[in-house]
Amino acid sequence: MEPKEQSKEKKEKLWFWNWVIASVIFRLVLIYFPKNLNLASRPEVSTPLTSLRRLAEGYWLKQLSMSPYAGSMYHGSPLLLSLLGPLTVKRIEGQPDHLLCSLVFVIADIVNAMLIRATGQNLQMEYTRSLKLLDHVKLSEKPGKIIPSGDIAALVYLWNPFTIVACVGLSTSPIENLAIILSLYGACKRQAPLAAFGWVIATHLSLYPAILIIPMILLLGYGTDTPPRKLFLQRRNVEVGDNPPNDRCCEREEVVHRSEVPHVFSWRPVIHFFCWTSLWSVYVLVLCGISVKQYGGLWELFKRTYGFMLTVQDLSPNIGVLWYFFAEVFDFFRNFFLIVFHGNILFMMLPLAIRLKHRPCFLAFVYIAISSMLKSYPSVGDSALYLGLLGLFVNELADMQFSFFLFCGYVGVSLLSPVMHNLWIWRGTGNANFYFATAMAYACLQIILVVESVSAMLNHDRKLRKPLTELQDGKN
Amino acid sequence: MAESEAEVPKAKPRPIVRLGIFLISHSCLFSVICCTAGVLTLLLLPVLAKNTYISENALMPGSANPMFSSQEVSEANRLVKSLTSLDSKPVGSGIESQRLIAEYMSDLGAEISYHKFYPRSNQFHPLHFFSYPDSGSTRENVSCISHGLNTVGIIRAPRGDGKEAIVLVTPYNSLKVGPGEALSLGIAYSVFSLLTQVTWLAKDIIWLVADSRYGEYAAVNAWLRDYHMPVFSGLSALKAEICPVSNVHNELKENSVTERKINDGFRRAGTMATALVIKVTDGSEHFEDSLSIYAEASNGQMPNLDLINIVNYLAVHRQGLRVKVEKMRSLINCKWLKILGEILQSLGHVAKSLNPQWKFGIPAKDYVEGAATLASSLYYQALGVPTGPHGAFRDYEIDAITMEISSRVALNNKARKNDFLLRGGRLIEGVIRTVNNLLEKFHQSFFLYLLTSPSKFVSVGVYMIAFALLVASLPVVAASLYADAHKVDPSFGIDKSTPQASATDELSITPRSCKWLNAAKKVFLVHLWGAVVSFLPYFICQIPSCTPTTSFVVWVLLSSFSLPILSLILGSSFSYGRPSQPQKRDWTLLKSVTISAAFIGLCLMSVINFATAEIGALLMVPMCLMAQPLKLDIRSRKLRKFLRVACNLALGFLGFPPAGFFVLKGAFEGFGGITVGDFWSWLESIWSWSSATYLYIAGWFERTRS
């Protein structure tokens, strides 16, 4: 039995690696047709923040010893500029332009997938352990029942058309995603320095991941996703209920047990995390300060990057909804709506954090999905990230409603959006409303996805509680 | 929209949800009603057509008296005479006639330039789907031996700033100038000469004498491409390398002493507001002089309706010409259409007698004519091949039409000919004067419409109803099938928990709600196959020295082999030896996924090219709804089921030959080197065909499997 199982496992592993290699080959093939695919100029792929063409422009300006932010072309980080900039000018004879950058993005994608896989394995281990703790014999017994969610998530990430398009279309979003995933991975492994590094870099690159600090703290404090803590207590209660019905005794016992419960908030890694965060941020700020010293200093940098993101200055069309809104809104309402839109993300943080505090990874997924919906310059790279993370919870979300509808919607919208853009820009028979309609449909789909996944997750928790309550009722 | 309604069966019973549940539970009835309503609405479209009106107030057509007089007519006659006399001379008249026209133009004081172009073979490239029409121009394969020569004359407007222009196009074959072509050149020349003198001109006038030796479309397209994509020195050097610049310009210059203003460079005159292609045919009409309007550009795009309105208004009300648009001749004598028209007419009478306000009845004859026009309008839009050189302009967002003026009798009589020239010239002058009033560009009226007669149109809001009704049944049926599959599921779930069933059923591992993934994989595979099949012609084209027949055979063989290879690669097997219950459920899911894919495809297509989507929907929707696995039906031997099988087979047979026909046509056009005209349109039309094709294949496959 055992060798057979082992061989099966081996086969599955081989299968996984085959698909990974196939995805790399697929990307490399696509990289060789940059002119024909013309992905780098699609508004869905390259936003003002993630476009490599803008980065090359910024680098060019810097080479001419001008401020890279002059002329409102480049709005990214100066670190990225000095990292990727030299690669943009290097050309190899007979090869497509930006080949080196594309290779960097492919590597970033692969690393992303590997990190997602490792995170998934970590999550899964925790999941089976907690199921065992809860004595869910039915669920934990069957080996086939639990899908290797890490592998699934990694493959979903690698083979998602959005990821491929973002990678081949020369947008820097694979690198931004790398920072986010790195921080999640570090937090799951409870390595405070790594998590802090990822978080600082992610925040530095695209600002919105700053809200991930709550899941980070929860992850470091409580550990990875588990069923609600109440369940463990209940479970203990059931066990304790067998003992003589002395209330005080019972209470004391519970206190004793609680100390044994592994899910107590531990402050040490969190404090570590904060120390490291401050260290890394000082480091990053110093580096940035050095590189923009002669171009107006750090304040100019903040104004040109974070200010650009928060005030939505570039109203060129993208798949988000903000560009249209701020193109239409009266100027004197502009500040108000800027606050409303960004406050929207912040308002949702606290309730979600309270409700999902036992599942910090899932909480991180929800935050990423919400911010990629409401951020000022969204691209398909952001969707690629949260869809990949969605794969991590494939066991818990197995009973999600409307999955088929969502799938069809995503396919439909992602096909319709370029068509509408073509009608508007190239044929002249449509107008901006056509394109904005698909952006709205896309936003609606994302909302449905978030709502349904959260409710499926809560249902899953309820389902875990059911046998316990039955057991308790039987006792009573 | 309908899908979101239909997909909410389990939520709280709000009214909209209840409506959704109701629709889903009666999906069969609903789909039948929807389909019939869709077809009926399509047949009603000629009745629902509205009269056209000029939407842009600034145009003011026909508000000024025509200045075109007999003096201009004599000018035209002069050019025609010298052209025909030139034609009787021996060889070498290609350049001669060009020079003649250029001389005439320069006498009028216009700027003249020659535009040399190389006809390029239309190559279908699968990856060009993603690029814009212009980007493929850098690596064309030109044949250096043959080249065409366009002559371009530009009048600078006295009141303009040189940023806007109106284009006149007269295609003619420089090797052999026919009488009609000479007349069209004459009309254009006379109008051109008039426009050099007028003071009201606010837009520059470009007269493009297109050399139609290699097709009218190719010449106009080449000129437009060079007009919109300036060639910089580096590139031109590259071009010179490819083709050694023959000294046409020098030749032309040396020979003509009188030419003062011929420019070597490419002359431009700003953005084009409108383009008019002028053609003359003679002697074919029975009743009176008439004007045919051709408007369909590549891929079913139409010019702004206002342009057609202006031409129609001026031709009918000012010049007394009969205006025609293309009709399907075979439909006019169609019996059932006549009967339908009479029924509608009597219905209209009844309605009118009930309430005199209701005026929707139209005479039966009008109905039949309208239906025939509508059918041809649909057909040409669906085909995606432009009906003339005006199609090239639409790719650059310029509204253009072809005006084909034809006279009643052969134009031998001189007075008759002068009258004809006068009317034609006045019409074109009127149109140009009207367009001259235009601010910016046409935007006020419709771009998406179907014509039922020159003065009647069906707008997008109306014809979309027919399509929406036809398609609405798809999501509802998909949702109901999906719900069915899940209704079967709980019993299956109970089975699963019993020890015997849960042994090693691979499928039970996949969670309940993700069962559709399997079906989606299958559908994806079939669509991928369809895509491969439709891309194969490109690779087959590369094989040198291939007759159409052999390449067709190669294509069929390759495409039939590619399916097993694909399925092998993606690791999905098609033969499940399973008991009938899960198989049935599998099948329902498969059908549901297929239908949703078809729905998405059709909706996409309706945005890109409505006519293709409409025709596709007419074929696809019944096929998708009726599809049933053959094996299950045959096993249960009932008459009803047998009928259904027969129905299915008949539909499948009906659905397949068009696909085969289209594909065959596409193949021959591709391989035989017969250029369709427009590269992009060809590509797009192939695209549309192939999308229909692989949806067909999906439907076909689904039925024949199991």
SS3 for A425-475 is HHHCCCCHHHHHHHHHHHHHHHHHHHHHHHHHHHHHHHHHHHHHHHHHHHH
DSSP alpha helix (H) spans, A261-333: 267-291, 297-311, 322-328
Residue-wise burial string across B132-159, b where 16 or more C-beta atoms lie within 10 A, e elsewhere = ebeebeeeeeeeeeebbbbbbbbbbbee
Q: Inspect the interface and report whether the beta carbons of A37 and B603 lie closer than 8 Å.
A: no
Give CA B329 to chain center in angstroms. Answer: 20
From first CA to last CA, the distance across chain B in angstroms is: 33
pLDDT tens by residue, A374-389: 888 999 999 999 999 9
Domain with A18 in it: 2-25+48-475
Residue A208's closest CA among A358, A47, A67?
A47
Q: Residue B144 has what pLDDT?
A: 55
Alpha-carbon gap, residue B179 to A29, rounded angstroms: 56
Pick from A36, A411, A419: which is nearest to B131 by CB? Answer: A36
> Average pLDDT in the A330-334 region?
90
Q: Burial code of A172-185, b = ≥16 C-beta within 10 A, e = fewer? A: bbbbbbbbbbbbbb
Strand, helix or coil for residue A225: coil
**Cβ contact, residue pair A415, B607, below 8 Å:** no
Q: At A86, is the pLDDT very low, low, confident or very high (cuts 50, 70, 90)?
A: confident
Q: Is residue A37 part of a domain?
A: no
- Report the C-alpha gap between B537 and B346 in whole angstroms: 52
Instruction: For residue B324, list its beta bridge partners.
Output: B292
Q: Is the pLDDT of residue B672 over 50?
A: no
Q: Tell me if B127 and A402 make a contact (CB, 8 A cut-off).
A: no
Q: Which two tokens stand for residue A368?
A: 């990423």
Name the minimum distance, in Å, from the CA of A387 to any CA of chain B.
16
pLDDT at B500: 35
Pair A173, A47: CB distance under 8 Å: no
Q: Give the model's pLDDT for residue A230.
A: 75
Q: Collect all residues of chain B within an 8 Å Cβ-Cβ radius of residue A404.
A: 7, 482, 513, 516, 592-593, 596
According to DSSP, the residues that pair with B402 across neighbouring strands are B277, B294
What CA–CA distance (Å, rounded) separates B134 from B140?
11
Q: Which amino acid is at B399?
A: D
Question: Which residues fall within 8 angstroms of residue B389, CB to CB, at 6 or more apart?
Answer: B169, B171, B210, B216, B217, B219, B220, B221, B277, B402
State the Cα–Cα distance between residues B662 and A330, nearest whole angstrom: 52
Tell me the Cα Rg of chain B. 30
Task: For residue B511, give the nearest of A399, A408, A412 by CB distance.
Answer: A399
Please, what is the angle between helix A99-133 and helix A2-31, to 10°?
Answer: 150
Angstroms from B365 CA to nearest CA on chain A: 33
Is residue A35, in this structure, part of any structural domain at all? no
Q: List the one residue out of B205, B225, B270 whose CA is nearest residue B116.
A: B225
CA distance A99 to B561: 35
Q: How many residues does chain B have?
A: 706
Q: Do A37 and B512 touch (CB under 8 A)?
A: no
pLDDT of B8 > 50? The answer is no
Q: Tokens for B162?
A: 């040189």
Q: How far apart are CA A392 and CA B328, in angstroms?
A: 59
User: Of how many residues is chain A composed?
Assistant: 476
- Is the dihedral angle over the CA atoms A185, A189, A190, A192 positive or is it negative? negative
Q: Is residue A294 domain-resident?
A: yes
Would you state the structure tokens that stand for residue A102, as one six-digit string?
């594309």
A95 or B635: whose pLDDT is higher? A95
**Of A348-362, B12-26, B529-543, where does mean pLDDT reach its minimum?**
B529-543
Residue A320, pLDDT above cutoff 60: yes
Q: How far apart are CA A260 and CA A242, in angstroms?
A: 19
Spell out the residues 6+ positions from residue A169 whose beta carbon is closer than 8 angstroms to its own. A37, A39, A40, A42, A45, A46
| A425 CB-near residues (< 8 Å, 6+ apart) | none
Do the beta carbons of residue B187 and residue B235 sit within 8 Å? no
Residue A371 to residue A210: CA distance in whole angstroms: 10
Kindly give the interhelix angle for B414-436 and B305-313, rounded to the nearest 10 degrees.
Answer: 140
The answer, as to whether pTM is greater than 0.90, is: no
Residues B168, B272: contact at Cβ < 8 Å? no
Q: Which residue has the higher pLDDT, A227 or B435?
A: B435
Give me the torsion for CA of A96, A99, A103, A105, rounded to 10°: -100
Instruction: Please give the interface size between A and B, counted as residue pairs whose CB atoms are below 8 Å apart.
Output: 73
Closest CA to A346 of A150, A207, A440, A179: A207
Contacts of A433 (CB under 8 A, 6+ apart): none
CB B519 within 8 A of CB B592: yes
Q: How crowded is the C-beta side of B194, counted as CA atoms within 13 Å?
A: 25
What token pair was written down for A286?
């110093």
Nearest Cα neighbor of B627 from B603, B592, B659 is: B592
Does the pLDDT at position B278 exceed 80? Answer: yes
Considering only CB atoms, B128 lies closest to which of A36, A402, A403, namely A36
More confident call, A443 vs B606? A443
Assign B85 a pLDDT band (cuts: 50, 70, 90).
confident
Cross-chain Cβ contact B513/A427 below 8 Å: no
Distance CA B143, CA B147 (A): 8
- Bridge partners for B170 per DSSP: B209
By the 8 A CB rule, do B204 and B270 touch? yes
CB A123 within 8 A of CB A389: no
Q: How many domains does chain A have?
A: 1
Q: Are B625 and B599 in contact (CB under 8 A)?
A: no
Using a CB-CB cut-off of 8 Å, the residues of chain A touching B4 are: 405
Residue A222 to residue A265: CA distance in whole angstroms: 5
Q: How far is the alpha carbon of B62 from chain A, nearest alpha carbon, in Å?
A: 27
Q: Could you tell me the CA-to-CA distances from B96 to B24, B86, B101, B255, B264 in Å, in that order?
A: 73, 8, 9, 10, 18
Provide the pLDDT confidence category of residue B206 given band limits of 50, 70 and 90.
very high
Contact A398 B511 (CB under 8 A): yes
Q: Is the pLDDT of residue B653 over 70?
A: no
Encoded tokens for A114: 């590997």
Asked whether the beta carbons of residue B4 and residue A416 sit closer than 8 angstroms, the reply is: no
Nearest-angstrom CA–CA distance, B175 and B188: 19
Q: Please state, in angstroms and rounded to a whole number, the distance separating the CA atoms of residues B117 and B219.
A: 7
Radius of gyration of the CA atoms of chain A, in A: 24
More confident residue, B327 or A412: A412
Residue of A nearest to B305 (CA): A429
Structure tokens at A185: 């991975």
For the ranges A456-470, B109-123, B213-227, B377-391, the lowest mean pLDDT is seen at B109-123
State chain A's mean pLDDT as an integer. 84
Distance of CA B14 to the CA centre of its chain: 43
- pLDDT the model gives residue B612: 76
Q: Where are the alpha helices (DSSP H) in B160-302?
A: 179-195, 216-228, 233-242, 248-255
A289 Cβ partners below 8 Å, 6+ apart? A297, A298
Chain A residues with beta carbon closer than 8 angstroms to that of B516:
403-404, 407
Confidence label for A112 from pLDDT (cuts 50, 70 and 90): very high
The single residue listed with the structure tokens 């729905």 is B599
SS3 B259: coil
Instruction: Take residue B556 and report the two structure tokens written for it.
Output: 């069929």
Residues of B in contact with A401 (CB under 8 A): 10, 513
pLDDT at residue B632 greater than cutoff 70: no
Residue A256 token pair? 């004793």
Chain A residues within 8 angstroms (CB to CB) of chain B: 33, 35-39, 144-145, 147, 394, 398-405, 407-408, 411-412, 415-416, 419-420, 423, 426-429
The per-type count for chain A, helices as H runs and strands as E runs, is: 21, 0
Phi-psi bin for A72: left (phi > 0), alpha (psi -120 to 50), beta? left
Q: Give this complex's ipTM.
A: 0.81
Higher pLDDT, A466 or B436: B436
> Which of A6-10, A40-44, A255-259, B671-675 shows the highest mean pLDDT?
A40-44
Contacting A with CB below 8 Å, chain B residues are 3-4, 7, 10, 125, 127-128, 130-133, 135, 301, 397, 447-448, 482, 509, 511-514, 516, 520, 592-593, 596, 600, 603-604, 607-608
Q: Closest by alpha carbon to B325, among B281, B368, B290, B280?
A: B290
Asked if residues A176 and A83 have their Cβ atoms less than 8 Å apart, the reply is: no
Q: For A89-111, what is each residue's pLDDT tens digit?
A: 887 777 777 788 889 999 999 99
Which chain A residue has the Cα nearest residue B513? A399
* CB nearest to A427's CB, from B4, B397, B520: B397
Per DSSP, A51 falls in state: B
Asked if the model's pLDDT at residue B449 lies above 70, the reply is: yes
- Chain segment B583-618, per-residue pLDDT in tens: 666 777 777 887 888 788 888 878 877 887 887 788
Report the C-alpha dihedral over residues A418, A424, A429, A435, rounded to 10 degrees.
70
pLDDT average, residue stretch B161-176: 85
Q: Which of B149, B150, B220 is nearest to B389 (CA)?
A: B220
Report the pLDDT value the prediction gives residue B60, as an integer from 0 to 100.
84
Q: Which residue of chain A is at minimal alpha-carbon distance from B504? A: A144
**How far apart, in Å, are the Cα atoms of B351 and each of B345, B358, B639?**
10, 6, 43
CA angle, A363 as apex, A359 and A367 as ends, to 5°? Answer: 175
Contacts of A405 in chain B (CB under 8 A): 3-4, 7
Residue A42, domain member (yes or no) = no
User: B181-205, pLDDT tens digit by residue?
Assistant: 888 899 999 999 999 888 888 889 9
